[in-house]
A = this chain, B = another copy of it.
Amino acid sequence: MVIVVRPGATKAEVREIVDLIESKGLKTHFSEGTQVTIIGVVGDKTLLVGTPLEALSGVDKIVPIAESYKLASRTFRPEGTVLEFPGCRVGGKELVMMAGPCAVESEAQIMASAKAVKASGAKFLRGGAYKPRTSPYAFQGLETEGLKLMRQAADAYRLLVISEITSENDLAEAARYVDMVQIGARNAQNFRLLREVGRSGLPVLLKRGIAETIEEWLQSSEYVLSEGNYKVILCERGIRTFETATRSTLDIAAVPVLKARTHLPVFVDPSHAAGRAAYVAPLSKASVAAGADGLIVEVHPEPKKALSDAAQQITFEEFDQLCRDIAGMAPICGREFRHGG
């Protein structure tokens, strides 16, 4: 941390800053420049939590230097994190595909989906049981019934289950049916939920908030990690910008940025970023080329009849072709992915 001293600050004001920092057990380095004077702070910055340096009259601004997250930092675990599941490893050489409908709608729909995505190479069946919808008048999901149907379909086709939860109150129920919970973009800074997921020890796919910086996202993940739960996947799903041609703007650079900064596996959700089925395949391939560890893709037996996000779900045939293409790309990207079950 570097403190920039306000131009014109008195010696007493500067002393006040230094004294406050040193009273907390940290050291200071003083550097007087021609235009500005700065104070470098050396030591464990967590000792300064709750110390309102910014409010001192001698302080112009505080420039953070070190990362604001610890357990998520790559320096904490340089070799990277690999999550082990029956039949697949996430974060290693294998590209892992998660696929399924936006929302679970019926037994027939989810069984057909499980069969199809398995046949194309997916390891996880995705599907929404609790749907966070912008409008209260939209379809809100089958809830527990949806989770049961997913478990049944996944078991029938030897798949793992991932599904979103939107409240800490659903965690115990979801834990009975899923292999991994998902926290969606709208709850990316629902810290109560993050903390409870951390305590549950359940693997979690944590989507980026629609206006969350990469730094803040890693801090969100820290809520889970700091409870001792290291089974976290980060999933880029597009950010909000001024461009409206797509539903969100996929921040493809987040993939290499995260690979450099954190040891956690990095996924991409091309479906929510695109908002249109036609763009899902190009964004999926781009994500793999950029270094993603896996994808989570919305696939529906009949997108035209879907109860939510109809425009962005692809058909079984489109998904199968995508998996073929990715199987072709994988070796060139230093990855393994096998098309077909």
Q: Which residues of A contact B (CB under 8 A)?
A: 2, 4, 7, 29, 31-36, 38, 40-44, 46, 49-50, 52-57, 63, 65-69, 75, 132-139, 166-169, 186-187, 189-192, 195, 209-211, 213-216, 219-220, 222-223, 226, 239-246, 249-257, 260, 273-274, 277-279, 282-283, 285-291, 303-308, 310-311, 313, 325, 328-329, 332-333
A139: B residues at CB distance < 8 A: 49-50
**A166 B191 Cβ-Cβ under 8 A:** yes
**B210 A211 Cβ-Cβ under 8 A:** yes
Q: How far is the CA of A283 from the CA of B252 in the complex (A)?
A: 7
Tallying the copies of this chain within the complex gives 4
**A289 B257 Cβ-Cβ under 8 A:** no
A67: B residues at CB distance < 8 A: 35
A245 touching B213 in the complex, CB below 8 Å, given contacts A33-B43, A43-B33: yes
Of B241, B253, B273, the contact of A274 (CB 8 Å cutoff): B253
A134: B residues at CB distance < 8 A: 189, 216, 219-220
**A55 B313 Cβ-Cβ under 8 A:** yes
**B192 A166 Cβ-Cβ under 8 A:** yes
Chain B residue at smallest Cβ distance from A220: B134
**A135 B253 Cβ-Cβ under 8 A:** no
Q: How far is the CA of A67 from the CA of B36 in the complex (A)?
A: 10
A279: B residues at CB distance < 8 A: 253, 256-257
**B43 A34 Cβ-Cβ under 8 A:** yes
A305: B residues at CB distance < 8 A: 52, 55
**A307 B52 Cβ-Cβ under 8 A:** yes
Apart from A69-B135, A241-B251, what 7 extra A-B contacts exist at CB < 8 Å? A38-B40, A49-B138, A52-B310, A136-B222, A167-B168, A240-B242, A249-B253
A214 touching B190 in the complex, CB below 8 Å, given contacts A65-B2, A290-B286: no
A251 touching B253 in the complex, CB below 8 Å, given contacts A63-B65, A65-B2, A243-B214: no
**B54 A311 Cβ-Cβ under 8 A:** yes
**B66 A63 Cβ-Cβ under 8 A:** no
Q: How far is the CA of A96 from the CA of B103 in the complex (A)?
A: 42
A53: B residues at CB distance < 8 A: 310
A75: B residues at CB distance < 8 A: 7
**A251 B254 Cβ-Cβ under 8 A:** no
A43: B residues at CB distance < 8 A: 33-34
